[in-house]
Amino acid sequence: MKIRAFHRKRHAWLPAAFIAAVVSSCNDHMSEYYARPDWIKGNCYEVLEMDGNYTIFLKGIDKAGFHDMVDGKSIVTVMAPNDSAFSLYLAEQGLNSIEEMDSSELDKLIGFHLMYYAYSADKLINFRPEEGDDVTDEEKKINAGMYYKHRTKSKDPNTIEYDNKRQMDVTVFHQERFLPVFSVMYFDTKMIDAAENYNYFFPDVAWNPNNAGFNVAGAAVTQANLITSNGYIHCLDHVLKPLNTIYTELKNDSNFSQFLSLYKKKETFAYNAELSLEYGNGERLYEHLFSQPLPNIASEWPTNDYSKLTELSSVGYSIFAPTNAALNTFFDNYWAKGGYAKLDDVSRESVEKLLYNCVYQGVLKSGGNSYDGNLAFPEEIRRGDIINSYGAVINVPLDAVPQKYRILCENGLLYGCEELAVPTMFAAVTGPAYQYKDFSHYLIMLTSIGDIQNTLWSDETQLLSLMPDNAQIEAMGITYDSRNNYLVRGGKALANDFKISTTYAHLVDLSASTCGDTELDSTSPGKQQVFRAFSPDYIFYWYVMDGKLTNSFRFNERIYPQLKSDQEVFVSFSELPSYKEDGSWSNGKSYTYEGSMFVGMPSETTYKSFQQMMQNNKVDSLLPYHGFVNLMTIAGMYDGAKFNFVQEGENHLMLIPVNSAVFDAIENSAIPGLSFDSAAYGAGSNIFDCCSVADDSSRYVLQMYLKDYFVPLATAGISNYPYLGWKEDTSKGMESLNVIEIYDESTSRVTYQSVKIVITDKGDKLTVRLLESDEEIEVSGDYHYLPFVFEDGCVHFINGMF
């Protein structure tokens, strides 16, 4: 919304003597400001009577019991429809005269034309509820016209509503109506065209035809500022039909029964002791409220505190309610195709997002606890200003709102939509989770990630998403508690970090991908794709090989003791088309996959730490790290199952020589600090039984040499782990953990320098070398040059030793 920020400033408006004179006849403080000029003769009733063209209106004033008030006993502003307007109104109601009107309806009708206090045209054009007129012209421009609603004498009687939670009827109290007055400044402040936006709701009413500067609800002003002894009269060309709340409009039209039923699932009835004491006459009175972010569409006032005029005069709501037909059509095209049998079965998260996309409460105020209550007019909707509570643009199909459903209400605007305003996330790559019953468990995880959800359905972000189905999730020992609407594992609510990490594991931001592809390739034999997962906490990937898919944590099973094959860790996948005719989602592609669910955090794997996995399985000679872990053990580089030379939480790029490379280096005595008894080594003997370190100095040399194979990721200067298509430049070298001493004979100075490692992507293979050496060692191609990813870093196996 392009609205200037609220500006508040308080002033003492009138002398204390005047305040004392009027406070006894008024229930609030507004009369302190609106003084009656004592030189004016003739009250409102007398002025209208003398005119002679307001006889029906005056008769209504008399019958409704407002004669004394208008005849000088109170300060009022009268919105006066002439006889022609009133005759037309009565004919529309099928009445011959005002005497035929129901008395309670007449009270509401006439009362709606009588406003508390005296409002000149200037005050209606730019009402200042807090600072009054004692401000500069520049200050008056701040939120000019935005305080547009004014309290009237019109009120509905209390109503009976059924409280489902209490299982009983309750009496709901209703406040007096506020009358919307739209001024030229109101639309100027919003930076929208006044006539275009006003006439969207009132096409048969001229906008500001006599340059009064304002229209009153659905009426134009024929003459403004008739000054009387007890207020002002503004003459209208239409009778003001008492406006209902948005809730009442929806309740009164069966075409919105399904939407209202969904909305009422968030309702609550709050007992109000203060209202009960003041107005209840011994009866308990309740407020009809709704849980945020759904606005209180059943409330006439946004607050029960009549002194909060800033809020009372400015806050309104905009509701984009789909008709039953629109909702049914959307259900058939979306949720029915996703496996839902009826609307009541649709996941709670989906229904909530639909509801939240149908309401607008204005812009979220600083502090994030409330909204400013600005209304949403068509021009603002078209230009994308209207943002819902979860940060997405509400795209209302304005042309699918028939004229009869363009309704100004006492607490806002109602757009009755014959086409549903589709929530953004329903059409994005997150859509299958909202559409398909089989993904309802994952949807609970998806909606747990907080504000970052906005990124997932933004058109500015191109994504790939995977959808684990309910069966895959349940196979993890996770069940759904339908009563509380949460997932359960081990008898407890599923941990939030698990839900978040699982969601991240199933998303890819294509901007972080180096392969350049925008979809998973299921058809190209031999093609390899690497996509970085969305997770901000871990670096890990999706891998596609020969049309099959895995992720880094599943790929690690290739080097688990079971030594699973590619066929066991890669699974088939298939694209999930959208509900639209062209099958496309708004910001990428979505897929489902076979096999068990991909996990998103190392702690959910059999081996979260590579250093631990090596140590626990060091006797297994079939494992590709068997040789290197035994060298580390001989060098004394383990403390239990952990490295003793790194800090807790440090991640490293680990270059692990394969067993054959280690054995060759041992047999050729090519490992610094390590002694090898070749004479004792024979067929059937363990090569490591023949290895030793002569003393602590030798052990230190061996330790430092083995540190060549560990590159701290914190200082590596790379944003991804190495793979084919890596696109990282390490030609200047990455510092390993090995720090060597350099002695300068000319200066007798000693300096220390890390041994640096260079990794090069050759297009068809990866190689590594020391920065000071031209001798390259190939990364093992047995694992397709894909990195293994653990909690403690990344692992590649290399076919030689430095």
For 529-551, write each residue's pLDDT tens digit. 999 999 888 899 999 999 999 99
Q: What residues contact 723, with CB distance under 8 A and at least 6 apart?
A: 530, 541, 766, 785, 786, 787
Q: What residues contact 68, with CB distance under 8 A and at least 6 apart?
A: 74
Confidence (pLDDT) at 222? 97
Residue 682 has pLDDT above 80, yes or no: yes
Residue 41 has pLDDT above 70, yes or no: no
Q: What percent of the chain has pLDDT over 70?
A: 95
pLDDT digits (tens, 9 = 90+) for 552-577: 999 999 999 999 999 999 999 999 99
Q: Is residue 167 part of a domain?
A: no
Q: Is residue 274 part of a domain?
A: no
Q: Do 46 and 83 fall within a single domain?
A: yes
Greatest Cα-to-Cα distance within the chain, rounded to the nearest angstrom: 130
Other beta carbons within 10 Å of 491:
6
Q: Do 110 and 127 fall within a single domain?
A: yes
Confidence of residue 782 (pLDDT cuts 50, 70, 90): very high
Q: Do 409 and 443 fall within a single domain?
A: no
Confidence (pLDDT) at 133? 72
Q: Of 369, 400, 422, which residue is a domain's last?
A: 422
Residue 35 has pLDDT above 80, yes or no: no
Average pLDDT over residues 596-623: 95
How far is 394 from 376, CA to CA, in rounded Å?
10
Q: Do 238 and 325 fall within a single domain?
A: no
Q: Is residue 317 part of a domain?
A: yes
SS (H, E, C) 24-51: CCCCCCHHHCCCCCCCCCCCHHHHHHHH
How does DSSP assign 472-527, residue by residue?
HHHTTTEEEETTTTEEEETTEEPPHHHHHHHHHHTEEEGGG-SS--SS--SS-TT-
Q: What residues contact 464, with CB distance under 8 A and at least 6 apart?
A: 429, 507, 508, 510, 519, 520, 531, 542, 588, 589, 590, 591
**What's 334's DSSP letter?**
I
SS3 641: coil
Average pLDDT over residues 26-43: 55
Query: Alpha helices, DSSP H only, in 511-607?
Result: 552-555, 566-569
For the chain, the residue count is 802
Beta bridge partners of 757: 734, 770
Residue 138's CATH number: 2.30.180.10
pLDDT digits (tens, 9 = 90+) for 196-229: 999 999 999 999 999 999 999 999 999 999 999 9
Q: Of 604, 632, 665, which residue is a domain's last?
A: 604
Confidence (pLDDT) at 23? 36
| Bridge pairing between strands 652-657 and 793-798 | parallel
Residue 25 has pLDDT above 60, yes or no: no
Number of domains present in the structure of the chain = 4
Q: Do 110 and 36 fall within a single domain?
A: yes
pLDDT digits (tens, 9 = 90+) for 290-326: 999 999 999 999 999 999 999 999 999 999 999 999 9
Other beta carbons within 10 Å of 565:
10
Residue 790 has pLDDT above 50, yes or no: yes
- The closest alpha carbon to 556, from 762, 792, 801, 761, belongs to 792
Other beta carbons within 10 Å of 219:
22
Residue 21 has pLDDT above 80, yes or no: no
Average pLDDT over residues 35-51: 80
Residue 18 has pLDDT above 50, yes or no: no
Q: Do 779 and 640 fall within a single domain?
A: yes
pLDDT digits (tens, 9 = 90+) for 436-457: 999 999 999 999 988 788 889 9
Full domain range(s) for residue 732: 610-798
Q: Do 82 and 217 fall within a single domain?
A: yes
Q: Is residue 270 part of a domain?
A: no
Q: Do 587 and 710 fall within a single domain?
A: no
Q: Is residue 221 part of a domain?
A: yes
SS3 223: strand
Q: Do 450 and 590 fall within a single domain?
A: yes
Q: Do 431 and 310 fall within a single domain?
A: no
Q: Is residue 80 part of a domain?
A: yes
Residue 37 has pLDDT above 60, yes or no: no
Beta strand segments in 306-404, E:
317-322, 359-360
Q: Of 212, 243, 274, which residue is a domain's last?
A: 243
Residue 584's CATH number: 2.30.180
Q: Is 230 left (phi over 0), alpha (psi -120 to 50) or beta?
A: alpha
How far is 455 from 416, CA to CA, in rounded Å?
29
**What's 68's DSSP letter?**
H
Average pLDDT over residues 368-392: 92
Q: Is residue 8 part of a domain?
A: no
Q: Do 408 and 481 fall within a single domain?
A: no
Q: Is residue 519 part of a domain?
A: yes
Q: Do 691 and 758 fall within a single domain?
A: yes
